[in-house]
Structure 1
C-alpha cells in the first residue's frame, strides 16, 4: 500500500525533473543555435553567409605556397597583377557591404592602413558581391581610403580557395614581400593581432 500510494508522487517528481532538464538543454541549444542563426543572417539578404571563427594562422617562410597569381581591377580602374604584390607587404581583406562583421572591422582596417602606409604596406579589399555604387557607399560611410577590387565573378576568390572559404567573409590575408600568404585571419580582425602579423612580415629579410 505504501508503495502504491507514493509511486504517483515519485513519478510526478521524476517527470518534473526530466522536463526541467529538457528545458535547460533546449535553452542551451537555442543559445548556440541562435548565434548560428544570427551569423547566417548577418548579410541583409541572409544567404550564403558563414561567419569566420576568428582563428589566426601563420605560415613560416618555408611553409608558404606560391605567390598569388590572380589578375583583377579595382573599382577605380587600377590594374592588379601578380607584380602588384612583389616587393611590399600587402594586406588583402575579403568583404561585402551587407556583411555585419565587415562593418564592425572596417574602421580598424582603415586605421591600421593609415598607420602602416608610410612603411609601404599595401591594403586592398576584395568585394565579393556589390556593385560599384554599393561598395563606394560603404567606403564613404566608413572612411575607407584604400582600394577594393570588384569580384562578383569570383575570379579572385576562386584563385585563393586554399586560404579563403568561398562563403567565409570576412577573411584577411597578409602577404610577404614575395606575394606569398604569410598569415590568415578568419573572421573579424583583432587590431593588435593584425598589427603583429604585419610587423612580422615587415621584419623578414
Structure 2
C-alpha cells in the first residue's frame, strides 16, 4: 500500500510541488485513466515550442506536425520515469514506421550530464529536449504537463489528443496510439 501511495504521488515533493528556477512549479495532480482520448472535435492546438536537444542540436515543434507525436516530460530524479521512459523507448522503436514520433522533455535537472547519463543508462532511443527551467512544460500547463511524469499525445494536426499525468503503462500507450493512428 505504501508503494502504491509513492507511485500515486508521482515525483513531487513537499506539499506536492517542486519549485523550478523560473518560478513555476511541478506538482502531482491526479493519475489519468488509461486510454482516455480527447474526441477529435474537442481537441485544441498544442503550443509551439523550441529548444536544444540533449547533445546540442536545435529542435522546433514544427518537426512534429503531420505525425502522431508522444511528448514525455521526465527527469532523472523521478522514480516513475525510470520505469516509464525505457518502456516508452520500446514503443517508440515499434511505432516509428507507423509515423509516430517520440520526444522526451527533460525538466528540472541541475546538470545536463544527469539527463545524458539517464538516457545512456536506459538506452533511450528517442531524442529529448533539455528544459532545466521547465519552460516547455509550463507552455503545456493547461493540460497539465507540470506533473512529472506527464505524457501528451498529439494527433497529426498538432492537436492534443490525450494527456496523462503520472506513469503510463506500455499497453495503455499502445492502445491510445492505435486509436489516434486509425483516425488518420
Same fold, TM-score > 0.5, yes or no: yes
Please report how far the alpha carbon of residue 47 of structure 1 lies from its aligned counterpart in structure 2 after TM superposition.
6.7
Q: Unaligned regions of 5+ residues in structure 2, if any?
A: 19-26
Distance 2:6 2:82 in 1: 18
Distance 1:121 1:58 in 2: 16
The alignment yields a C-alpha RMSD, in angstroms, of 2.7
Q: Which has the larger radius of gyration?
A: 1
The C-alpha deviation readout for 1:144-168, integer Å capped at 9, x for no partner, is: 02111111122201110011242x1
* Aligned residue number for residue 90 of structure 1: 69
Please report how far the alpha carbon of residue 184 of structure 1 lies from its aligned counterpart in structure 2 after TM superposition.
1.2
* Aligned residue number for residue 122 of structure 2: 142
Work out which of the residue numbers 29, 37, 53 in structure 1 matches 2:31: 53
The C-alpha deviation readout for 1:37-92, integer Å capped at 9, x for no partner, is: 9937777xx97263752434321110001233122221133332231121111100
SS in 1 for 2:162: strand
SS in 1 for 2:28: coil
Distance 1:104 1:194 in 2: 14
1:61–1:37 Cα change, 3 Å = closer
Q: Which stretch shows the higher mean deviation, 96-105 or 77-86?
A: 77-86
Work out which of the residue numbers 146, 149, 155 in structure 2 matches 1:176: 155
Q: Which has the higher contact order (CA 8 A, sep 6+)?
A: 2
SS in 2 for 1:163: coil
- Asked whether the 8 Å contact 1:125–1:148 carries over to 2, the reply is yes
- Asked whether the 8 Å contact 2:80–2:167 carries over to 1, the reply is yes
Distance 2:161 2:79 in 1: 26
- Asked whether the 8 Å contact 1:97–1:135 carries over to 2, the reply is yes
TM-score by length of 1: 0.74
TM-score by length of 2: 0.82
- Asked whether the 8 Å contact 2:72–2:103 carries over to 1, the reply is yes
- Asked whether the 8 Å contact 1:52–1:170 carries over to 2, the reply is no
Q: Which stretch shows the higher mean deviation, 72-81 or 177-186?
A: 72-81
